């Protein structure tokens, strides 16, 4: 009897210790991530596809910001752009967001993070550090337009968008820079007849095509066209919105984007333009880095011109309203914003603009405090356009949820190859916008 | 042995760790996921109860209907293709190539060991139209036909996907069914031949009934795998063009992890589980009946 009792007690003890161990294991597995200790590194979570920002920051860490880097070393981590939102959500859930991170693919995610107090209030922080004036006013206004009137991201890039064109091809074919949509169509017809592919565009990415739709909408309906969709005043399925999709689909139907546009990725489209295989390329000013690189640009930077998206005759918008964005926006976590981080942010605000322009030919939203000579004429044109632009507009998906952004970008290739009708396209996007 | 297995404590010690691991990594997440089906929210905002709203949405969501139809269509075609191609290959090994089949078996099995992403990229290049014309389109051009943008429409992309997955896994089913065919006693085949059965008749009346159990196992294996297809779709088309080649698994993944709708994503996962369960039960019932009859 006592022997049995001892055995039973031993079994209970074994079971109890096994249970405690399991619980401890579970607790340690679930509890990973968030720490409240002061950061030992200035962590920057970026996307794999963007090399400019992290290279420029690394350069700063060895140059102008060396002292800051010695105190708090910069550490860059990357994640593929497609997995960024998921990664940010998981890190936010564990309260483990790094000091700096690429903002989500849709501004909606950053707004959500800000509402839950995970993102630093940069209006206040930059003012406190005395560096708010180191931001270009145009970049501040774009960020505010995107993030409900607040500065929630740092403008490591500041881009305007328009159509880059091959001056040599235009001259050879006797084409003037088109000022209206009809002239652009006429120029494309002529190029196509002369066996030159009018446009290079990545259907795989989708957004280079949807940017054309928003370009047309801003010119035909005015700068508030997509604000109205955001606020529910208008729907994408209304005839004047569908008309924009029809115009872009018509370009695709005539084969102006070339063969298999759905399989063309970003780099291939860029390469098509920079090797003279296509005459025009709708893109943001970040492409200046590629245009300025002689290894990539076989047509020569002097042969590249920049024009705004043309006006639509009788439309409410005008060609000098450039679409603008802050590229891959980078934001700062509210946690761990200590003195060492302060020093880093101050140094970045003072020096990033010059470094990015000088070493990468990339225009940022920080002021260029050390004068830099432009690499080529097209860079000068774009910089002048930025500083003189009075009113900017955003892009097609700027106010969309992640779901609507995905619906828009994955159906864009179908729109220009004809597998999705313009009406179907707008219906799909509108329905993704509605579903919450 | 009997004494060891008759002891409850011994059984617990032997089964306990495995059961604990299984419970922690399979049952707990399954039940947890079921719980999420009744919630809305995400890891940033937190989760709140949502009643049966996710389930009503599931029935009215056109994207779910499309994804379910795609999944069923894909599963049926690929399962039939994989098993038939595998069976024909197994017959070829056993009755024609006989002992010389080792090399062919290895070659046909080779795609099974290749990573799916590599196979996806291979087929992308094979069928591409731009930036370079792929071999398939080059062949079409040789015969004076126009190039086809296989990934430009959902219909053609679907067929590329189906052919890729049949090619990729027929070697596996060929080996599985080959093992079943070599198990058929030589005496049975010999006596059937003496009775005058040969060629198709021998296969129809002797080989097929005797290899039915392994054929059914292959079917269950295949249908369950194809209903849960994910990696090959992501590698080849990523669900596109649009959502033209999006199966339930990918839609569930996007809903949960891209759109942060974990509750609705869990509801889609539940639908997929129910579909897999029903199909497995159906195939199992049919196979049991056939075997007893055979």
d(CA A177, CA A188): 11
pLDDT-derived band at B217, boundaries 50, 70, 90: confident
- CB atoms A258 and B258 under 8 Å: no
d(CA A222, nearest CA chain B) in Å: 29
pLDDT-derived band at B19, boundaries 50, 70, 90: very high
Q: In 10 A of CB A340, how many CB atoms?
A: 18
Mean pLDDT highest for which of A1-5, A328-332, A355-359, B241-245? B241-245
The average pLDDT across A50-60 equals 89
Asked if residue A360 belongs to a domain, the reply is yes
Residues A215, A69 within the same domain: no
Question: Model confidence over A126-137: pLDDT tens digits?
Answer: 999 999 999 988
Cite the beta strand spans of chain B per DSSP E. Answer: 39-42, 46-49
Q: How many CB pairs under 8 A join A and B?
A: 98
Four-point Cα dihedral B78, B80, B83, B86, nearest 10: -80
- CB atoms A259 and B147 under 8 Å: yes
A79 CB burial (10 A radius; 0-12, 13-18, 19+): middle
| Test mutation, B28, B61, B152, chain A, max A CBs within 10 A | B152
Residues A252, A340 within the same domain: no
Looking at beta carbons, which residues of chain A come within 8 Å of B246?
none
Supply the pTM of this predicted model. 0.84
A210 shares contact with chain B (CB less than 8 Å): no
d(CA A165, nearest CA chain B) in Å: 20
Q: Which chain B residue has its CA at the smallest distance from A436's CA?
A: B261
Residues A134, A187 within the same domain: no
Cβ neighbours of residue A366 under 8 Å, at least 6 residues apart? A134, A135, A136, A139, A155, A156, A348, A349, A352, A353, A356
Looking at beta carbons, which residues of chain B come within 8 Å of A29?
none
Q: Which structural domain range is residue B228 located in?
A: 57-293
Residues A225, A249 within the same domain: yes
Of the candidates B143, B214, B213, the one whose C-alpha atom is nearest the C-alpha of residue B178 is: B214
Cβ neighbours of residue B120 under 8 Å, at least 6 residues apart? B164, B231, B232, B234, B235, B236
Average pLDDT, chain A: 88
| Number of folded domains that form chain B | 1
- In eight-state DSSP terms, residue B97 is I
Q: Is A327 left (phi over 0), alpha (psi -120 to 50) or beta?
A: left
Looking at beta carbons, which residues of chain B come within 8 Å of A271?
131
- CB atoms A419 and B43 under 8 Å: no
pLDDT-derived band at A337, boundaries 50, 70, 90: confident
pLDDT-derived band at A9, boundaries 50, 70, 90: low
Q: Is A283 helix (H, G, I), strand (E, B) or coil?
A: strand
C-alpha to C-alpha distances, B242 to B22, B70, B105, B151, B228, nearest whole angstrom? 38, 13, 38, 11, 20
Residues A345, A387 within the same domain: yes
Identity of the residue in B147, B242, B259 whose CB atom sits nearest the CB atom of A402: B259
Of the candidates A432, A385, A336, the one whose C-alpha atom is nearest the C-alpha of residue A120 is: A336
Task: Please report the pLDDT score of residue A175 as a whole number.
Answer: 96
d(CA B93, nearest CA chain A) in Å: 39
Residues A314, A338 within the same domain: no
d(CA A139, CA B257): 31
Asked if residue A215 belongs to a domain, the reply is yes
Asked if residue A51 belongs to a domain, the reply is yes
Query: A89-128: b or e for each residue (b if 16 or more CB lie within 10 Å)?
Result: bbbbbeeebbbbbbbbbbbbbbbbbbeeebbbbbbebbee
CATH number at residue A337: 3.40.190.10
Q: Which structural domain range is residue A207 located in?
A: 161-323+400-434
- In eight-state DSSP terms, residue A176 is P
| Number of folded domains that form chain A | 2
Asked if residue A4 belongs to a domain, the reply is no
A263 shares contact with chain B (CB less than 8 Å): yes
Looking at beta carbons, which residues of chain B come within 8 Å of A22?
20, 24
Asked if residue B146 belongs to a domain, the reply is yes
Q: Is the peptide bond before B131 cis (omega within 30 degrees of 0)?
A: yes
d(CA A288, CA A291): 5
- CB atoms A402 and B149 under 8 Å: no
CATH number at residue B245: 1.10.3720.10
Residues A210, A102 within the same domain: no
Residues A230, A303 within the same domain: yes
pLDDT at B155 over 80: yes
- CB atoms B154 and A419 under 8 Å: yes
Q: In the block, which residue shows the tokens 């999006």?
A: B246
Residues A117, A244 within the same domain: no
Residues A294, A221 within the same domain: yes
Looking at beta carbons, which residues of chain B come within 8 Å of A411?
241-242
Here the tokens at position A368 are 């260029």
- In eight-state DSSP terms, residue A282 is E
| Test mutation, B9, B24, B44, B54, chain A, max A CBs within 10 A | B44
Beta strand A322-325 pairing with A392-393: parallel
Asked if residue B8 belongs to a domain, the reply is no
Asked if residue A8 belongs to a domain, the reply is no
Question: Model confidence over B40-88: pLDDT tens digits?
Answer: 988 888 899 999 999 999 999 999 999 999 999 999 999 999 999 999 9
- CB atoms A262 and B44 under 8 Å: no
């Amino acid at each position: 009897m006592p022997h049995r009792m001892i055995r039973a007690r031993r079994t209970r003890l074994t079971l109890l210790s096994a249970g405690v161990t399991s619980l401890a294991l579970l607790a340690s597995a679930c509890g990973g991530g968030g720490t409240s200790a002061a950061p030992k590194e200035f962590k920057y979570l970026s996307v794999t596809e963007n090399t400019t920002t992290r290279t420029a920051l690394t350069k700063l860490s060895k140059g102008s910001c060396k002292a800051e880097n010695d105190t708090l070393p910069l550490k860059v981590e990357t994640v593929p752009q497609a997995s960024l939102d998921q990664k940010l959500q998981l890190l936010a859930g564990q309260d483990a967001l790094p000091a700096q991170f690429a903002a989500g693919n849709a501004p909606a995610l950053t707004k959500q993070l800000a509402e839950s107090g995970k993102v630093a209030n940069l209006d206040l922080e930059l003012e406190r550090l005395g560096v708010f004036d180191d931001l270009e006013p145009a970049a501040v206004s774009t960020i505010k337009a995107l993030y409900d009137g607040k500065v929630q991201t740092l403008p490591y890039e500041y881009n305007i968008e328009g159509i880059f064109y091959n001056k040599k091809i235009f001259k050879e074919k006797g084409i003037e820079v088109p000022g209206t949509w009809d002239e652009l169509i006429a120029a494309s017809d002529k190029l196509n007849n002369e066996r030159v592919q009018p446009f290079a565009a990545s259907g795989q990415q989708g957004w280079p095509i949807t940017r054309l739709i928003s370009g047309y909408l801003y010119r035909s309906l005015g700068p508030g066209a997509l604000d109205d969709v955001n606020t529910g005043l208008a729907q994408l399925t209304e005839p004047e919105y569908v008309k924009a999709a029809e115009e872009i689909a018509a370009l695709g139907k005539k084969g102006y984007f070339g063969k298999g546009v759905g399989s063309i990725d970003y780099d291939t489209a860029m390469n098509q333009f920079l090797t003279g295989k296509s005459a025009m390329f709708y893109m943001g000013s970040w492409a200046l880095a590629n245009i300025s690189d002689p290894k990539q640009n076989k047509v020569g930077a002097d042969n590249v011109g920049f024009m705004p998206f043309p006006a639509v005759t009788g439309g409410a918008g005008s060609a000098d309203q450039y679409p603008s964005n802050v590229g891959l926006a980078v934001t700062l976590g509210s946690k761990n914003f200590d003195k060492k981080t302060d020093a880093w942010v101050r140094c970045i605000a003072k020096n990033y603009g010059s470094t990015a322009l000088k070493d990468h030919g990339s225009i940022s939203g920080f002021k260029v405090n050390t004068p830099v000579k432009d690499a080529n004429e097209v860079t000068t044109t774009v910089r002048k356009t930025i500083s003189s632009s009075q009113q900017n507009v955003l892009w097609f998906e700027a106010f969309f949820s992640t779901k609507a952004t995905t619906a828009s970008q994955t159906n864009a290739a179908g729109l220009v190859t004809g597998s999705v009708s313009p009406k179907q396209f707008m219906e799909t996007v509108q329905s993704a916008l509605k579903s919450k | 042995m009997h004494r060891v297995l008759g002891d409850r404590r011994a059984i617990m010690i032997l089964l306990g760790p495995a059961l604990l691991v299984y419970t922690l990594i399979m049952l707990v997440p399954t039940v947890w996921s079921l719980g999420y089906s009744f919630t809305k929210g995400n890891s940033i905002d937190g989760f709140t109860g949502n009643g049966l709203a996710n389930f009503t949405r599931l029935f009215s969501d056109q994207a779910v209907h499309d994804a379910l139809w795609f999944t069923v269509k894909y599963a049926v075609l690929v399962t039939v293709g994989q098993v038939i191609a595998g069976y024909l290959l197994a017959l070829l090994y056993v009755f024609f190539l006989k002992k010389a089949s080792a090399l062919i078996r290895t070659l046909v099995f080779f795609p099974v060991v290749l990573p799916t992403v590599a196979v996806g990229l291979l087929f992308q290049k094979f069928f591409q139209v731009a930036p370079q014309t792929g071999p398939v389109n080059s062949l079409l051009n040789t015969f004076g036909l126009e190039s086809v943008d296989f990934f430009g429409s959902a219909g053609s992309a679907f067929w590329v996907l189906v052919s890729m997955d049949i090619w990729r896994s027929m070697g596996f089913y060929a080996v599985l069914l080959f093992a079943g065919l070599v198990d058929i006693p030589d005496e049975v085949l010999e006596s059937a031949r003496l009775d005058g059965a040969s060629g198709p008749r021998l296969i129809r009346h002797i080989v097929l009934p005797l290899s039915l159990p392994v054929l059914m196992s292959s079917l269950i294996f295949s249908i369950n795998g194809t209903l849960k297809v994910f990696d090959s779709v992501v590698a080849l088309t990523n669900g596109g063009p649009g959502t033209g080649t999006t199966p339930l698994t990918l839609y569930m993944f996007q809903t949960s992890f891209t759109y942060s709708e974990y509750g609705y994503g869990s509801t889609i996962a539940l639908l997929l589980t129910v579909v897999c369960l029903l199909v497995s039960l159906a195939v199992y019932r049919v196979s049991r009946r056939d075997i007893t009859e055979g």
